């Protein structure tokens, strides 16, 4: 969800790539449904494992695992890490997926606003 929402709302400041600790290999049907209800395409996206993504190039890691980010990403000390405590809706009813999507979307929009503001401040400096 987070990758799709970031692509949709903030591709000007976020080049998202997501990966998980226990990837399914596919995107849950409920996730697809909730995103499609919002008009957000997930073409080409799939559930990936952490080893499939090169985090060494990341400037920011948004961690949704529930495990403290610095403990997971010690090797990538150059990146900022944000821990977002978000419920994993997997296996739950569609209403939970919608609520989680609302929460992630709000966080992505807030992050995008902060990043845009940082870029504007840098340009003025």
Question: Which residues in 58-79 are b (16+ Cβ under 10 Å) and which e?
Answer: beebbbbbeeebeebbeebeeb
What pLDDT score was predicted for residue 43? 83
pLDDT at 62: 93
Distance of CA 88 to CAs 22, 52, 56, 100, 110, Å? Answer: 12, 21, 25, 8, 20
Q: Which stretches of the chain drop beneath a pLDDT of 70? A: 75-77
pLDDT of residue 116: 96
Predicted local confidence at residue 108, as pLDDT: 98
Q: What is the pLDDT of residue 74?
A: 73
What is the reported pTM? 0.89
Provide the residue ranges of all domains of the chain, joining segments of one domain with +: 2-120
Q: What are the tokens at 15?
A: 């080049």
Which phi and psi (to 5°) does residue 50 adopt?
-60, -30
Per CATH, the number for 2-120 is 3.40.50.2300
pLDDT for res 77: 63
Which two structure tokens, joined as six digits, stand for 37? 């209800």
């Amino acid at each position: 969800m987070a990758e799709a929402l970031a692509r949709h709302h903030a591709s000007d400041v976020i080049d998202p790539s997501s990966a998980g600790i226990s990837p399914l290999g596919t995107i849950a049907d409920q996730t697809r449904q909730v995103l499609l209800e919002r008009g957000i395409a997930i073409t080409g996206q799939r559930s990936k494992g952490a080893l499939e993504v090169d985090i060494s190039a990341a400037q920011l890691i948004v961690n949704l695992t529930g495990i403290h980010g610095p403990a997971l990403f010690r090797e990538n000390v150059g990146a900022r890490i944000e821990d977002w405590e978000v419920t994993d809706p997997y296996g739950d009813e569609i209403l939970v997926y919608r609520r989680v999507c609302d929460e992630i979307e709000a966080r992505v929009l807030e992050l995008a606003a902060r990043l845009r503001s940082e870029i504007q401040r840098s340009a003025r400096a």
